[in-house]
Structure 1
Amino acid sequence: MAQKAAKSLAARNSAVLFRTHLISAALHFLFLALHYVFARPRSLKPYFLIAVPTLVIEYYLDRVGRPHYSEDGSLRSAGEDLNATGLTEYMWDVLYWTQGCMVAVCLFNDRAWWLWVVVPVYSVYLAYTTVMGVKKGFAGMGGGAEGADYDAPMSKTQMKKEKRGAKHGGVR
């Protein structure tokens, strides 16, 4: 059963990587063709500034997600799950957003590169919410002044004991 799951993961990863590489190559070719046809001299600097990191991300996703086969054709490693949450999901978001920005630049003009500013702004937002969430989680554990106004939820047993104590006038 585990071998079936590994084979399906390998097939899914191969299909996703092939589609990603195909779309990426087509977009890069389209952008460069439009650049040289319409001779926009200033557009290559932001292109390289933004395309190189996403090509590195694409290379990394290919390295970790590509299935490996032994010489007899059997599956040796299915690769990591490319649908995993966390950093992998964020890398896909950056890759897709960059591809969308490239389409916008091809359709409109070089000012569409400014759409890519959303990526670092979103990163800062994620970091801020993560830090504040961790800080809020630690506030209740300290027992100091910060956590004094924090009321932990009561368990069912605690609620029953409190209810029983209220019926008997506070005496057990």
Structure 2
Amino acid sequence: MANTSAKKIAAQNEAALKNLLYGQVANNIIALIVRLLYRSLGRPNSITAIVFSLITLGLSQFIYTRLTSMGKPRRDASGAVVSPGDDLNQAGVTEWMFDVLYISWAVQVGSAVLGEWVWWIYAVIPAFAAYKLWGLAAPFLGTRSASEEGENVPMEPLSKRQEKLKKRSDRGDPRVKVQTRRA
């Protein structure tokens, strides 16, 4: 039972990697078939569409192999989990890699079906990065937070015990010690 967490992460990673493989293969086949059908119908693919398709294919393949190398569990000869790999469900860069991969798949198939204007969806990625960077840099740039502006910021709900102590304190009950924070 000591290895239960590692087994759980390994099982989740294996399922996620299997789904990623199916998605990667299906995405590439669909995009290729649609582009070949357009060509057979007399609508030639432009050079820019082919170049962008290759760039998107390279990006999605790079991210796919990176996620595979990160999340693939290692097992010994008996099948026991030696290392579960990195947790692919973790937030942060791994989550963003999945987002970029999904956007790449959507752009690949969408550009094959709907046209070259779908490439503009890639603008979402730097826009999101700028939004995240602004949120991280705002405290250092001197912008004020909502609490400093005097706006009503929702507080965490108090537990029953904290509510009881607050009521006692408001009544002036001597059993409640009021602690002040030192700056």
Query: In structure 2, the residue corresponding to 1:157 is in which secondary structure?
Result: coil
**CA-to-aligned-CA distance 1:94-127 (integer Å, 9 cap, x gap):** 1112122223223311211111111112112211
User: 50-59 or 82-91: which moved more?
Assistant: 50-59
Residues 35/107 of structure 1: CA separation in 2 closer, same or farther (3 Å cut): closer
The answer to whether the aligner puts 1:35 opposite 2:40 as a matched pair is no
Residues 124/51 of structure 1: CA separation in 2 closer, same or farther (3 Å cut): farther
Q: Distance in 2 between the 1:17 and 1:4 partners?
A: 20
Could you tell me which residue of structure 2 aligns to residue 24 of structure 1? 24
Could you tell me which residue of structure 1 aligns to residue 179 of structure 2? 157
Q: Percent of pairs identical after alignment? A: 24
Q: Distance in 2 between the 1:75 and 1:63 partners?
A: 16
The answer to whether the aligner puts 1:100 opposite 2:122 as a matched pair is no
**CA-to-aligned-CA distance 1:59-96 (integer Å, 9 cap, x gap):** 11110100011122211111110011111111111111
Could you tell me which residue of structure 2 aligns to residue 114 of structure 1? 120
Determine which of 122, 125, 132 is the counterpart of 2:138: 132
TM-score, with length taken from structure 2: 0.70
Q: Distance in 1 between the 2:51 and 2:17 partners?
A: 27
Q: Distance in 1 between the 2:60 and 2:31 partners?
A: 15
- 2:60/2:105 contact within 8 Å kept: no
Structure of greater relative contact order (alpha carbons < 8 Å, 6+ residues apart):
2
RMSD: 2.6
Q: Distance in 2 between the 1:62 and 1:102 partners?
A: 20
Unmatched segments (≥5 aa) in structure 2: 40-44, 151-177
Count of residues in Structure 1 that have an aligned counterpart in Structure 2: 146
Q: Distance in 2 between the 1:6 and 1:65 partners?
A: 12
Determine which of 38, 49, 52 is the counterpart of 1:46: 52
Please state how far the C-alpha of 1:134 moved relative to its aligned partner.
4.7
